[in-house]
Structure 1
Amino acid sequence: MEPRPAALGLVVSDMAASLAFYRALGLDVPDEPEGHVEIPFGGLRLMLDSEATIASFDPGFTPPAGDGRIGLAFECSSPAEVDAAHARLTGAGYRSHLDPFDAFWGQRYATVLDPDGISVDLFAAL
């Protein structure tokens, strides 16, 4: 049997802030922050681990920076939903990287940044 995709893992600097962001995005996020949290993610799991959790078993751990090495993408049901999700997140104080626009490849597209600077794309077919 071959390995199969099961989860995406993110190391977060502030678990409570990250959980609030992904909750604001509409994911089913647990109520209480812990050192390791698993969130249903489109048939996979989005696993958030605090820096302290990773350091507890990896003595050479150095906290990563949100430098564009990973990005998450969320498909919206319509261009209006892209705009609404972007407005809801930026209205809650999260940073926009790309305001909503009609992309040349045929999508309404926007990017917000989670609390660690990870790109979260919002898109829908035009």
Structure 2
Amino acid sequence: MTPQLDFVGIVVTDMSASVAFYRRLGLDFSAGSEQEPHAEAALPNGFRLALDTEATVKSFHIGWQHPTGAGRVGLAFRCADPAEVDSVYTDLIEAGYHGEMKPWDAFWGQRYAVVQDPDGNGVDLYAALPTAD
């Protein structure tokens, strides 16, 4: 069997804050996930996003230390259109999350923005720009 990528895992400092952030982006975590040491959200394509607290990771990875410097994982959420990029970005900023890059029309043909999750990981929002016919 060829290994299949099944989920992306993120180590989080505050499970409640992280679950709230990703719920705002439409991920469905089960009720009570905020208090759990491990939480997963199933995505429509069968892929999963898993969140683990630092304490959980330390319980099986002796010597694990919180990374320093910029985040090393990036997630991207496709939006329906450029207006949705702007509205989702605004919603997250108004909810108190840090905007890394305000929405802009990227030269590669997408409306693009970046916010940070509660642990400083970049989360991209994007949608295709309309093409001139």
TM bucket, shorter chain:
over 0.9
2:7 — aligned with what?
7
1:71 corresponds to = 74
Q: Which runs of 5+ in 2 are unaligned?
A: none
How far does residue 19 in structure 1 lie from its aligned partner after superposition?
0.4
Identity percentage of aligned residues: 56
Matched, 1:37 2:39: yes
Structure 1: any 5+ residue segments left out of the alignment?
Answer: none
More strand by share: 1
Which residue matches 1:113? Answer: 116
TM-score by length of 2: 0.90
TM-score, reference length from structure 1: 0.95
Structure 2 residue 61 is matched with structure 1 residue 54: no
- Residues 109/72 of structure 1: CA separation in 2 closer, same or farther (3 Å cut): same
Q: SS in structure 2 opposite 1:74?
A: strand
Moved over 3 A (4+): none
Q: CA RMSD in A?
A: 1.2
* Residues 112, 15 of structure 1: alpha-carbon distance in 2 compared, 3 angstrom cutoff: same
Q: How far off its partner does 1:114 sit? A: 0.2
CA distance change for structure 1 residues 10 and 37 in 2, over 3 Å: closer, same or farther? same
1:91 matches 2:94: yes
Over alpha carbons, which structure has the higher Rg? 2
